[in-house]
Amino acid sequence: MIDAVAIVPDSGAIPGSTAEATPSHEETCLSERLSDVWYSVEGTGDTLVASTREDDMAPDTLFEVMEAVGESCQSLLCVASNDDGCGLGSWVSWLASAETTYFVRVARYSSTAVGHFQLTVTTK
């Protein structure tokens, strides 16, 4: 399964970095094998919005949200994806069913898109 950092909606910005990103072996929404870092969030029954803050030093990121499905949650179903939704930063929104685990993939757009970002997940 995915090695993901658990986050809680509305808990503020989470610092992250694409410097530690590694190529994913998971099937993804965009079917691209880009270096990435993963986060997990439990659905609340509300619409959730995930974004990376855009600033001059933030790397070009790509976002994907996937739902764990199947008897043992070993499969991933694409829920939403975005590239450059906010400058070079990315954002996605989705209706997050309560008691459902979602995985947020933050990927480097290219091998040179290395740097620090701020990830936020908020309820809408």
| Residue-level pLDDT at 121 | 94
| Residue-level pLDDT at 56 | 57
Mean pLDDT of the chain: 81
Tell me the pTM: 0.84
> Pick from 9, 21, 71, 20: which is nearest to 45 by CA?
9
Range of the domain at 47: 5-123
| Residue-level pLDDT at 118 | 85
Residue 95 confidence (pLDDT) above 70: yes
pLDDT tens per residue, range 65-82: 988 776 666 678 889 887
Residue 102 confidence (pLDDT) above 90: yes
Q: For residue 36, what is the domain's CATH number?
A: 2.60.120.380
pLDDT tens per residue, range 11-68: 999 988 888 788 776 666 765 667 888 999 999 999 999 988 655 566 677 788 988 7
Is 68:33 a contact under the CB 8 Å cutoff? no
**Residue 106: which pLDDT band, with cuts at 50, 70 and 90?**
confident
Compute CA distances 68 → 43, 80, 94, whole Å: 11, 13, 14
pLDDT, greater one: 96 or 124: 96
Q: How many domains does the chain have?
A: 1
